[in-house]
Amino acid sequence: MSYTFCTVIVGEAFREQANIIVNNENMFTTPLSENGQLPITHFIASGAFENCQLNTLLNDNNIQKTVYFGEVSEALNIANLKYFGEVSEELNMVDSQFINYEQPLENPL
């Protein structure tokens, strides 16, 4: 399996469907909003995605999503979104450069 490291933001209404596609109900669990308060409008996931799952997610025209390669903080700035509530500082410090992995990662997330 090959992996691609990226940040994916999905619309709130598409969270469950996106989690099904990536076969991980805990993938899109970090809520976002325009001002960091209610209403929650999006969910974010950043890390290593299996290429086949990422491809399926990207090509599903029924899911509102955006994919970013680079710093998570830059993705949030471009999308004009903020974390909702308290979120670990680790999420702000992720170095998410575009990387394709030819071998499975021991701990991809």
Q: What is the pLDDT of residues 67-87, one digit of tens each?
A: 999 888 899 999 999 998 755
The model's confidence at residue 103, banded by pLDDT at 50, 70 and 90, is very low
Any domain includes 69: yes
Indicate whether 109 belongs to any domain: no
pLDDT at position 71 is 87
Helix (H, G, I), strand (E, B) or coil at 72: helix
Among 54-63, 70-79, 86-95, the range scoring the smallest mean pLDDT is 86-95
| Domain-embedded: residue 36 | yes
Q: Is residue 28 classed exposed, middle or buried when 0-12, 13-18 and 19+ CB atoms within 10 A define those classes?
A: buried
Total domains present in the chain: 1
CATH number at residue 26: 3.30.70
Residue predicted with more confidence, 82 or 106? 82
pLDDT of residue 107: 44
Asked if residue 15 lies in contact with residue 43, where contact means CB atoms within 8 angstroms, the answer is yes
Side chain identity at residue 94, one-letter code = V
Structural domain includes residue 106: no
- Alpha helices (H) along the chain: 15-21, 51-59, 72-79
Tell me the whole-structure pTM to 2 decimals: 0.76
What's the pLDDT band for 65 if we cut at 50, 70, 90? very high
Are 42 and 11 in contact, with CB atoms under 8 Å apart? yes
User: Which structural domain range is residue 50 located in?
Assistant: 3-101
